[in-house]
């Protein structure tokens, strides 16, 4: 599998991958926002391709205090081949080099497979509640 950084032209195929993976398309997932995210986080917005088809994604943001992981997804027919763990390990290493000491992410409550994935690669559930607000 080829792993490279996101290009804005990937955005439609990425959103299709996320939709097929049960990832809700949310604020931040339009072309402009994805391009901004990639520009702010060089080397931390990765896509995986097989035979030119976009089959995986993993994004990390570094805000100077925490690393945040987003949209780790692998197309359904290519799962359980170690693709996600490979992408996450790459991002962890790049965050570590930037000085990041702790990585956070959000898992939706109904994502049992995702919970098993994260637990198997060393992520622990926190006793915290996520709050959010959409800025108009
Ligand atoms: C979660 C997801 C990214 C895992 O991708 P993947 O490439 O299949 O994962 P890997 O092959 O790297 O799995 C690594 C390990 O995680 C665990 N794991 C992964 N998926 C699992 C599942 N469905 N059930 C149980 N354990 C699982 C296993 O221990 C696995 O190692 P093994 O295959 O040797 O047993 C993929 O299932 C996916 O895209 N799901 C939908 C989107 C999603 O929920 N993303 C997470 C958002 S928080």
| pTM recorded for the entire structure | 0.97
Does 40 have pLDDT greater than 90? yes
- Residue located nearest, by CA, to atom 17 of ligand 1: 117
Decide: 87 and 46 in contact? Cβ < 8 Å. Answer: yes
List Cβ neighbours of 73 (8 Å cut-off, separation of 6 or more). Answer: 17, 18, 21, 23, 56, 57, 58, 84
pLDDT tens-place string over residues 71-121: 999 999 999 999 999 999 999 999 999 999 999 999 998 899 999 999 999
Decide: 90 and 3 in contact? Cβ < 8 Å. Answer: yes
Q: What integer pLDDT is reported at residue 136 of this predicted model?
A: 86
Does 12 have pLDDT greater than 90? yes
What separation, in Å, do the N-terminal and C-terminal C-alpha atoms of the chain show?
Answer: 39
Q: Which of 108, 117, 118, 126 to mutate to test the pocket of ligand 1 (most atoms within 8 A of CB)?
A: 117
Domain 2-120 top-level CATH class:
alpha beta
Average pLDDT over residues 13-28: 95
- Residue located nearest, by CA, to atom 20 of ligand 1: 117
């Amino acid at each position: 599998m080829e792993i490279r950084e996101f290009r804005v032209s990937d955005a439609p195929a990425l959103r299709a991958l996320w939709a097929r993976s049960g990832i809700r398309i949310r604020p931040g997932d339009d072309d402009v926002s994805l391009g901004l995210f990639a520009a702010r986080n060089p080397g931390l917005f990765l896509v995986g391709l097989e035979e030119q088809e976009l089959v995986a994604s993993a994004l990390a943001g570094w805000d100077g205090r925490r690393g945040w992981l987003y949209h780790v997804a692998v197309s359904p027919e290519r799962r359980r081949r170690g693709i996600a763990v490979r992408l996450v390990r790459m991002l962890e290493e790049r965050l570590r080099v930037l000085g990041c000491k702790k990585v956070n992410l959000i898992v939706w409550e109904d994502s049992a497979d995702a919970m098993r994935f994260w637990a198997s690669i060393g992520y622990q559930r926190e006793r915290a509640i996520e709050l959010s607000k959409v800025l108009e």
